[in-house]
Amino acid sequence: MRQHVNPLSRFFQLPLELPAPQELFENPNLPIHLDIGCARGFFLLELAAMQPERNHLGVEIRRPLVQAAQRDRDRQEQHNLHFLFCNANISLEAWMAALPPDQLQLVSIQFPDPWFKQRHRKRRVLQPALLLAIASALHPGRHLFLQSDVLAVIEPMVALVELSNGFARPKDDPQPWRRSNPLPVATERERYVQEQGQPTYRVLFERTDAALPALRDLEMAWQQVDNSKAAAPTPHG
Active centre residues (catalytic): 113
**Encoded amino acid at 196, one letter:** Q
CB atoms within 10 A of CB 186: 18
User: Quick check: 12 and 71 in contact, CB under 8 A?
Assistant: no
User: Quick check: 48 and 122 in contact, CB under 8 A?
Assistant: no
Cross-strand pairs, 107: 34, 144
Which contacts (CB < 8 Å, 24+ apart) does range 228-232 have? 229/118, 229/155, 229/156, 230/118
